[in-house]
A and B are shown apart, each in its own frame.
Chain A
Amino acid sequence: MLNRTLAPKFHAIEEFTLIRPQEIQLDNGCKIFYFNSGEQELVRLEWIFNNLNFITSRPLSNIAVNTLLAEGTTSRTAAQIASEIDFYGAFLQVEYGADHSQVTLYTLNKHLKATLAVIKDILINATFPEKELQTYIRNQQQKLQVSLQKNDVVGRRTFNKALYEGTIYGFAPEAEDYAQLKQDDLLLHYEQQYQPANCTLVIAGKVDENVMETISDFFSDWQNRITADFTRPDVNKIAGKLIYIEKPNALQSAVRLGTSTINSKHPDFPGLQVLNTVLGGYFGSRLMANIREDKGYTYGIGSAIVSMKKTGTFFIATEVGAEVCREAIQEIEKEINLLKTVLIPEEELSLVRNYMLGSLLGSLENVFSHADKFKNLYFSNVDYSYYDRYAETVKNITSEELKALANQYFDFDGFVKVIVGKY
C-alpha cells in the first residue's frame, strides 16, 4: 500500500554547468561574445552600450535616444524599418536601464543578413526625425498621466528619487522633461553613446562560423566618432525617512521600503541574497507566509536586492488593503527584527538552500539564459568564479553568519519608507 504521507527521496543539487562564451574583438573596438548552442535555427543578438554620464539638465537623453533609435535613418523611415523587421518575422527591441542601453534582435538564421542590414542602419545612421520626436513626446506625456494614477508606480518613482536624487538611479520623468527634448541634443547624445568602442555584442543561438563571419563583415566598417564621458558619480547613503502620499479614495496602499546597499562586487552579496530569499525572495518566504498566507493583507509581497554599477538597492514592495496598511508595516518591521535577533532554524535554511540551487539550475533553461548569466557577470565586473562562490555560500552559510549580515545590512529605522494610498 502506497504511503502518501511520506515524501519521496530527493537529491540535493550538487552541480551545474555554465556555458562560457567565445570572444572576438573587431578593429573598431566592438567586443563580441557568442554562445553557439541550441536546436532551433534562430539567434538572439544584443548590442549593449554603456550610458553616458547623467546630465541633470538633459535627464531624458538616454531614454529618448534609445527609444527613438528605430524611428528613422538617413535612408529608411520609421515605417520602413518596422515593415522590414516584421516582414522577416524578426523582433527588434530597444531597452534602457540605469547603466546600459541596448538594441536586441531576435531572428531566424535564414533572415539574418536581411535584418542585420536594418540594425546596422539604425546604429550608424539614425536621424531622430522631428515629426517622430513630437509623436513620442505627445504619446509619452499621455501614458505618463495614466501611470501616475497607479499607486505602485508612484511608490517606485518616489522611492528611487528619495534614495538617489540627482543621479540616473533616481530619475523619474515628468511631463516637462519630455517637452524639453530637442532633436540636436538627441543626435549629439547618439553620436557619443552609440559607437563601436562602447558596444558589447552578445550573441546566442545557432551561431556557427558563417554567422560570425557575416556579423564581422557587417560591422567591421563601423567607425568611432567622438570621445564621450561614461563616468558615474558615487552614490551617498540617505538617512531613513517616511514619505506618505495620501490618496483619499485608495482601496489599497502601495508600500515600498528599503535602502541603498552593496552590489554584486561585494563579498557579502551572495550571503545577502540568501538572507533576502528567507525574508521575501520566494513564495514560501517569511513575508509571504506572514502577510499573505497568514493574515490575508495582500495578494503579494516580496523583497529583492538589485545590483547596479555604483550601488545596490534592497527593497520590500507590496500593495496592501488600505485599512490594514499600518499593521502590514508593523509585521514587516517584526520580520526584519526577527532576522537580527533569532537564528534561522536549520530546517528553514536547508529548504532555502535547495530552493536557491534548484532556481539557479532552472534559470539555465536554454542558450539565451546562459548568455544572460554571462551579461550579469560581465557588466558587474566579476568573473565566472562568482557563481562558484555563490553556490558555495548558498550551500554552506550558517545561521550565525546570516544573523550577523542582518545586523550589518538591515536597519528598519534607516530605511526609506514610501506609502501611497492610506496609512
Chain B
Amino acid sequence: MVRFNRFTLANGLKVLVHEDKTTPMAVVNVLYDVGARDENPNQTGFAHLFEHLMFGGSENIPAYDEPLQRVGGENNAFTSNDITNYYITLPAVNIETAFWLESDRMLNLAFSEKSLDVQRQVVSEEFKQRYLNQPYGDVWLKLRPLVYKKHPYQWATIGKELSHIENAKIEDVKAFFKKHYNPQNAILVVGGDVDTAQVKVLAEKWFEPVPSGEKYHRNLPKEPEQVEERREVVVGKVPLNSLYMAFHAPGRMEKASYPVELLADILSRGNSSRLYQTLLKEKQLFSEIHAYLSGSLDEGMLVIEGKPLETVSIEQAEAAVWEELEKLKTELVQENELMKVKNKTESTLIFTEMSLLEKGMNLAYFELMGDADNLNHETEKYLAVTAEEIREQSRKIFRRENLSTLVYLAEEVAETLVA
C-alpha cells in the first residue's frame, strides 16, 4: 500500500505527496508526458537528446548538477517511447533545493549552443556504445520498423539514425520545449521524510509561478492490424545466430494486459518457466531464451528472443517455440502454475515498496495512466485473471499473421549456408 495525497496547482501541475518517515531522504520525481512516440519522423531521438539538454543549465541557474551535489543530492533521468522522467534523491532537510532546480528548468532552459554541441556528441557516443558497437546492439533498430508500420513505436528512443541527432538545431530544441515542457504536461511526485503541508507551500512558491503553457493533445496514428506474417533475415558480425519473434499485444492501458503479463511470466519468468524448462533444459535447443512484454502505453508487443545452440537450425528453433505457444492456445493453464505466476507478481509488488524512489516513480506513472491509486489495486487485478483469459489472449496473440520475425545470422554460419 503506497499512501499519498494529491493536489493541483493553479497552472495545472499535478502534485502527489507520499509521506514516508522511515527514511531521512526525499525523492522528487518529475514526469513529463512526452516520449519518442511524440517525435517528428524526420527528427527522431529528439525526446532523448532533449533529456540531456535539461542538464545544461536553466534560465536562472547556470549549472543544474552542481548545486544539487552541493546539498548532498543525486539525480538522473530516462526517456522511453512514452515518457521522460527526471528524478532527484536528496537529504529531506535540503528538499527546497530540488524545488528550486526543477521549477527553474520547467520555467525556461538556457539553450546554449555549447551545451547542444556537446550533448549531440555525447548522445552520438551513446548511440555507438549501446546500439552499434555491441553484438546484436542494433536489433531494436531493425525489429521496431518491422513490427510497427504506422505507429511511432517504429523507432527506438535513441532515434532512427545518427544523422537525426547530428542535425538537431537550437530552434528545434526551443520549439520542443515550448510544446511539451510545461506544468500541464507534467506530474510532480514528492516522497520521503516530508509533510504534505510543507510540500504544498514549496510547490506554490516555486512551481505555481511557472506559466501553464499549452496542453499538448496527442493524436498518433494507430497501428493497423497486421494481416500477414513478416520476416527479415540479417547477417552480421555476431558470434551466434539469434531469433526474435515479436507479436502485437495489448498496451499497458488495456485490461487485457493483465492476463498477457501473466502469460509472458508463464513462458519465461524464473527457472521454472516453460520456455526455460522445456526448450533450454529438456530439449536442449537454446542456450538462452526469454519472453517479455514491451509494457508500452499504446499498442504493445510480446517478444520471444533466443539463441539456439550451434547445432540447431533456426527452423527447428522456431518450430519448438511454436509447439509451446500452441499448447497455450489449446490447453488451459493448470491451477498450480497460474497460482505460481500470481504469487510471484504479488511478492514483487511488495518488494518494490522497499524502495522510496520506485514508489515515487510508480505513483507518477500510474497518475499518468489515469489515477495513482490504481497502483494499490494492481495485485487484485492480477489475482483475478483466469486460465480461460490466458488461453483467450494466447489465441489472439500467437497467430502467424500477427508475427514479425527477425533472424540474426552469424556471418560465418551464413557463409556455410550459402556454400
Contacts and interface: CB of A to CB of B under 8 A. Distances in A.
> Do A and B bind?
yes
Interface of A: 2, 4-5, 7-11, 13, 16, 38-42, 70, 78-79, 81-83, 85-91, 106-108, 135, 138-139, 142-143, 145-146, 148-151, 249-252, 282-284, 292-299, 319-321, 350-352, 354-355, 357-359, 361-362, 364-366, 368
A135 B281 contact: yes
Contacts, number: 220
Given A11-B93, A79-B272, 10 more contacts: A4-B61, A11-B91, A39-B22, A78-B281, A86-B272, A249-B237, A299-B129, A321-B124, A366-B22, A366-B354
B69 A282 contact: yes
B157 interface: no
A249 B135 CA distance: 13
B67 A7 contact: yes
B72 interface: yes
Contacts of B355: 365-366
A250 B133 contact: yes
B interface: dominant SS: helix
Contact of B280 (A16, A85, A89, A139): A139
A121 to B, nearest CB: 15
Nearest to A90: B347
A362 B93 contact: no
Contacts of B71: 10-11, 354, 358
A385 B190 CA distance: 34
A107 B351 CA distance: 9
A264 B307 CA distance: 42
A7 B97 contact: yes
A150 B238 CA distance: 10
B287 A13 contact: no
B122 interface: yes
Q: Which residue among A142, A294, A297, A319 has the maximum number of chain B CB atoms within 10 Å of its CB?
A: A142
The 3 closest A-B pairs by CB, nearest first: A358-B72, A296-B121, A89-B347
Given A2-B209, A251-B133, A284-B66, A149 B238 contact: yes
B126 A299 contact: yes
Contacts of B354: 38, 40, 42, 365-366, 368
B350 A40 contact: yes
B104 interface: yes
Contacts of B117: 296
Contact of A8 (B100, B124, B240, B284): B100
Contacts of A9: 96
A137 to B, nearest CB: 11
A87 B126 contact: no
Contacts of B339: 87
A149 B70 contact: no
B132 interface: yes
Contacts of B136: 146
B96 A8 contact: yes
Contacts of A355: 69-70, 72-74
B63 to A, nearest CB: 9
A319 B127 CA distance: 12
A176 B276 CA distance: 25
B118 A319 contact: no
Nearest to A293: B118
Contacts of B290: none
A327 B276 CA distance: 46
Given A87-B339, A88-B343, A283-B69, A297 B356 contact: no
B389 interface: no
B125 A320 contact: yes
Interface in B52-89: 59-61, 65-67, 69-74, 89
Contacts of B351: 40, 42, 106
Interface in B341-357: 343-348, 350-351, 353-356
B375 interface: no
Q: Which residue among B71, B120, B123 has the maximum number of chain A CB atoms within 10 Å of its CB?
A: B71
Contacts of B270: 82, 85-86
Contacts of B67: 7
B272 A42 contact: no
B374 interface: no
